[in-house]
């Protein structure tokens, strides 16, 4: 089971959590995959999701790209979740470090994933540390961007269907950096 590290409850009742563990084990409506534009799920988190969820996820991803074209930073794709304990996988394309305009692209990927979850009328979502793995985005600025964009989304969407967003990371080192960003944003930390 994933370990809850911190929790913040907004005035609207929406809950933001930080957890350490394996996102493929999350029992939420959807998890977010840190994907590439072609939705080829070979390595990193995408590979782990495919191994746990089964080939149906890749098959649906291939069909998505055939129908809609490459996935953009601001408009994630979504598929079923195969054998995962969630209903959907939202495939968000974060930036590769060094390609230019990385902060804007990461913000677009996070906001886009949240928008897709709302369009699907989901109430719970688990989100990874997008772009901080094989895409090389430095963890500290990524953590601040991911968390602040979630906070901004809830501020501008008070009636959202989402009631829980959990940021999930496997690495203890990254969790500590996310905790620092959490504290830096003044989210506080309910004892867990």
Which residues face 92 on adjacent strands? 34
Q: Quick check: 192 pLDDT over 80?
A: no
Angle value at C-alpha 76, between 71 and 78, nearest 5 degrees:
105
pLDDT, mean of residues 42-69 = 95
User: DSSP assignment, residue 23?
Assistant: G
Nearest to 76 by CA among 29, 119, 22, 42: 119
pLDDT at residue 1, rounded to an integer: 65
- Report pLDDT digits (tens) over 95-143: 999 999 999 999 999 999 999 999 999 999 999 999 999 899 999 999 9
Q: What is the structure's pLDDT at 158?
A: 84
Confidence of residue 191 (pLDDT cuts 50, 70, 90): very low
* Residue whose C-alpha is closest to residue 90's, from 109, 105, 107: 109
Residue-level pLDDT at 110: 98
Q: In whole angstroms, what is the distance from residue 142 CA to residue 137 CA?
A: 7
Statement: residue 13 has pLDDT above 80: yes
Q: How confident is the model at residue 43 (pLDDT cuts 50, 70, 90)?
A: confident
Question: How high does pLDDT run on average in the chain?
Answer: 94
Segment 24-40 mean pLDDT: 96
* Sequence ranges of the domains in the chain: 3-184
> What mean pLDDT comes out for the span 68-85?
97
First CA to last CA across the chain, in angstroms? 14
Q: 76-114 b/e with 16+ CB inside 10 Å = b? A: bbbbebbebebebbbbbbbbeeeeeebeebbbbbbbbbb
Return the number of other C-beta atoms located less than 10 Å from residue 156's C-beta: 9
Write down the pLDDT at residue 59.
97
Task: Please answer whether residues 79 and 87 qualify as being in contact, where contact means their C-beta atoms are separated by less than 8 angstroms.
Answer: no
User: pTM of the entire structure?
Assistant: 0.95
pLDDT tens-digit series, residues 137-174: 999 999 999 999 999 999 999 889 999 999 999 999 99
Query: What is 3-184's CATH number, 3.90.1150.10, 3.40.220.10, 3.40.50.2300, 2.60.40.60?
Result: 3.40.220.10
């Amino acid at each position: 089971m994933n370990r809850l590290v911190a929790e913040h409850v907004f005035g609207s009742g929406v809950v933001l959590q930080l957890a350490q563990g394996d996102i493929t084990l999350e029992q939420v409506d959807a998890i977010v995959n840190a994907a590439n534009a072609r939705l080829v799920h070979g390595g990193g988190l995408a590979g782990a999701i495919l191994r746990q969820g089964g080939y149906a996820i890749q098959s649906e991803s291939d069909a998505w790209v055939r129908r809609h074209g490459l996935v953009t930073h601001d408009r994630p794709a979504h598929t079923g979740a195969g054998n995962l304990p969630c209903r959907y996988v939202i495939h968000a394309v974060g930036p590769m470090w060094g390609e230019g305009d990385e902060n804007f692209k990461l913000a677009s990927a996070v906001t886009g994933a949240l928008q897709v979850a709302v369009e699907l009328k989901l109430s719970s979502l688990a989100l990874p540390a997008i772009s901080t793995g094989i895409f090389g985005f430095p963890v500290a600025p990524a953590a601040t961007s991911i968390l602040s964009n979630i906070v901004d989304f809830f501020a501008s969407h008070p009636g959202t269907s989402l009631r829980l967003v959990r940021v999930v990371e496997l690495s203890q080192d990254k969790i500590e950096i996310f905790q620092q960003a959490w504290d830096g944003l003044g989210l506080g930390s309910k004892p867990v």
